[in-house]
């Protein structure tokens, strides 16, 4: 009886353990199922408001005739090969109209967009409709509508279109302010022309700055985005648009795991301005900046690298009027910390034009507050629009440099005023280690303006031994700060 009772007890314990494990497994599976999102309803609710955008552009192919010394050979009449040569090179090698014109043909491109209100406003990327002669918006119900351009903003790669139609489905606009890395997102678009294709993934990073874009803090995702997805919406799990798919990082032309979307808050600010005035205005300081690395931070007397160091100040700009100086490190703008230099253009761009802004800078190791009245960012065209003195030679062996004075013609051409000496030779030493090259123009050394070789010599002598100091050089038309380690 004891053995039977013992077996029953063991069996009872095994059964209890099995039931407990089964319950835990079921709970775990249920939990996992709750965590994996189901996108089917999101697609049903939102795909109708996503549109395919096709554009047509007329281009004139210009003929340049046969290469010099060559003629179209004598080919039998009606030969298709002869017709090909005449069409491509022109009659008698001169082009179809004497070499000044050519055949007109059409090119087409595809992209995506989405409807933001029932009156027919459609949002897409500027690069999708740029230079288009005709824009066709195709809806999920097979309607094809001609669109007119309300306005474009190349700096944010945004375009606002308008179509005339009724019963238009619209998306729900969300906010990009509270999005988080790791959050699930969904894209709908027309990759390679395949309408209403869905791809999903997560947010990989936020506030991402790209070299080609200064005014957009991109959302980075791992959602599969390919040619044709541009301009399409990026949804969160609540079915709200939080971004506009704009760019991919690729070495092949196709998706490689990195895609970038314009935050919807930035996009809707652009849309509002395009609706009301047909263009976008942004704030402007009038400075050229550079990021601060560890060596530069040390040379500026900072505890850690952060901020944007001022390389150049535009004449008569808000920054000049506010008392900015070359070498200032901007670490805060209107209460917002400037951690990377790329944070500053975004913050300034969104600042109200004509209003005052409070800017915190580090100047010669000390904090200073500047108040600047924000001006409107000039156009790209306005921004880019913007005697034989015998040079005296001087060698400065301490840094390994040979410098010369600039002549009057060089100063005028480079718009340097009274500053600068030109580097003629660099030998092994601190200057070469810092990256200074022959032809560079030294504008500042250790936060002091360089006026001529003699004064430069005195500045070099006064440099603190064993310390890193900043040197401002101009290479071509671009100034840049470099940290240089002074020898013991």
* pLDDT recorded at residue 101: 52
Q: What average pLDDT score do residues 244-269 get? A: 87
Domain CATH for 352:
2.30.42.10
Q: Are residues 375 and 393 in the same domain?
A: no
451 lies in a domain? yes
Structure-token pair, residue 285 = 């300081």
* Domain shared by 393 and 435, yes or no: yes
Based on the fold, state whether residues 352 and 415 are members of the same structural domain: no
Residues 353 and 394 in one domain: no
Q: What pairs with residue 105 in β-bridges?
A: 59
Query: What residues are labeled active site?
Result: 127, 157, 230
Structural domains counted in the chain = 4
In a domain? residue 140 = no
**Residues 476, 445 share a domain:** yes
Strand partners, 437: none
Identify the CATH number of the domain in which residue 265 sits.
2.40.10.10
pLDDT digits (tens, 9 = 90+) for 315-334: 889 999 999 999 999 999 99
CA 253 to chain centre: 18
| Domain final residue, candidates 248, 277, 306 | 277
**Claim to verify: residue 392 and residue 476 sit in the same structural domain:** yes
Average pLDDT over residues 142-148: 94
- 470 in any annotated domain: yes
Q: Are residues 442 and 476 in the same domain?
A: yes
Do the domain assignments include residue 116? no
Does 391 have pLDDT greater than 50?
A: no
To 5 degrees, how large is the angle CA 279–CA 280–CA 281? 125
Confidence of residue 4 (pLDDT cuts 50, 70, 90): very low
244 occurs within a structural domain? yes
Q: Is 302 among the domain residues?
A: yes
Residue 309 pLDDT: 94
- Specify whether 316 is located in the same domain as 405: no
The predicted structure's pLDDT at residue 382: 62
Question: How does pLDDT run across 167-202, given as a tens digit for each residue?
Answer: 899 999 999 999 999 999 999 999 988 889 999 999
Whether the Cβ atoms of residue 106 and residue 134 lie closer than 8 Å to each other: no
Whether residues 260 and 288 share a domain: the answer is no
| Rg over CA atoms, the chain | 32
Identify the residue whose tokens are 């991402």: 208
Lowest mean pLDDT across 4-18, 112-126, 214-228, 315-329: 4-18
How far from each other are the two terminal CA atoms of the chain, in whole angstroms?
94
The contacts of residue 360 (CB under 8 Å, 6+ apart) are 330, 331, 332, 333, 367, 368, 369, 370
Tokens encoding 393:
């030679």
> Is residue 154 situated within a structural domain?
no
369 with 397, same domain: the answer is no
Domain that holds residue 314: 283-383
Question: What pLDDT score was predicted for residue 34?
Answer: 56
Of residues 102 and 434, the one with the higher pLDDT is 434
Instruction: In whole angstroms, give the CA distance from residue 442 to residue 453.
Output: 10
Q: How far is CA 404 from CA 392, 424, 456, in A?
A: 6, 7, 10
Note whether residue 72 is domain-resident: yes
| Same domain as 333, residue 271 | no
Q: Which of 65, 85, 90, 66 is nearest to 75 (CA)?
A: 85
In three-state secondary structure terms, 93 is helix
Identify the domain boundary among 221, 248, 277.
277
The last residue of a domain, from among 102, 126, 159: 102
C-beta neighbour count of 366 within 10 angstroms: 8
Lowest mean pLDDT among 45-49, 75-79, 114-118, 454-458: 75-79
**261 and 178 inside one domain:** yes
Residue 2: pLDDT band with limits 50, 70, 90: very low
Q: Which two tokens stand for residue 62?
A: 């210009």
């Amino acid at each position: 009886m004891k053995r039977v009772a013992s077996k029953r007890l063991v069996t009872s314990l095994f059964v209890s353990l099995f039931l407990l494990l089964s319950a835990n497994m079921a709970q775990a599976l249920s939990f996992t199922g709750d965590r994996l999102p189901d996108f089917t309803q999101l697609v049903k609710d939102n795909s109708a408001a996503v549109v395919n955008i096709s554009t047509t552009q007329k281009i004139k192919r210009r003929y340049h005739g046969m290469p010099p010394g060559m003629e179209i050979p004598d080919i039998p009449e009606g030969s298709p090969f002869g017709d090909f040569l005449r069409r491509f090179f022109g009659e008698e090698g001169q082009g179809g109209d004497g070499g000044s014109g050519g055949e007109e043909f059409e090119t087409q491109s595809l992209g995506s967009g989405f409807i933001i209100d029932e009156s027919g406003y459609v949002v897409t990327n500027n690069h999708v409709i740029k230079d288009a002669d005709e824009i066709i918006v195709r809806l999920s119900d097979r309607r094809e509508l001609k669109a007119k351009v309300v306005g474009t903003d190349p700096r944010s790669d945004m375009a606002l279109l308008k179509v005339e139609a009724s019963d238009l489905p619209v998306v729900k606009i969300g906010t990009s302010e509270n999005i988080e890395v790791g959050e699930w997102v969904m894209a709908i678009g027309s990759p390679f022309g395949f309408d209403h294709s869905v791809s999903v993934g997560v947010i990989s990073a936020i506030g991402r700055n790209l070299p080609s874009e200064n005014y957009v803090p991109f959302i980075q995702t791992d959602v599969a985005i390919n040619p044709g997805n541009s301009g399409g919406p990026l949804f969160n799990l609540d079915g709200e648009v939080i971004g506009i798919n704009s760019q991919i990082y690729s070495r092949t032309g196709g998706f490689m795991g990195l895609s970038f979307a314009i935050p919807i808050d930035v996009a809707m600010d652009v849309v509002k301005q395009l609706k009301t005035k047909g263009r976008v205005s942004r704030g402007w300081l009038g400075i050229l900046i550079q990021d601060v690395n560890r060596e530069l931070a040390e040379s500026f007397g900072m505890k850690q690298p952060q901020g944007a160091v001022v390389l150049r100040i535009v004449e008569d700009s808000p920054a000049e009027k506010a008392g900015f100086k070359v070498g200032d490190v901007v670490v805060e703008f209107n209460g917002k910390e400037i951690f990377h230099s790329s944070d500053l253009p975004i913050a300034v761009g969104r600042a109200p034009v004509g209003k005052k802004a409070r800017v915190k800078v580090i100047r010669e190791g000390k904090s200073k507050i500047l108040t600047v009245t924000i001006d409107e960012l000039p156009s790209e065209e306005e921004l880019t629009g913007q005697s034989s003195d015998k040079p005296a030679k001087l060698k400065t062996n301490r840094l390994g440099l040979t410098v010369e004075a600039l002549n009057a013609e060089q100063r005028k051409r480079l718009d340097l005023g009274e500053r600068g000496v030109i580097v003629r030779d660099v030998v092994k030493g601190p200057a070469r280690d810092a990256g200074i090259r022959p032809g560079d123009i030294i504008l500042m050394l250790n936060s002091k303006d360089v006026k001529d070789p003699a004064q430069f010599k005195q500045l070099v002598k006064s440099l603190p031994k064993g310390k890193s100091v900043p040197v401002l050089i101009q290479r071509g038309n671009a100034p840049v700060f470099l940290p240089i380690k002074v020898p013991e």
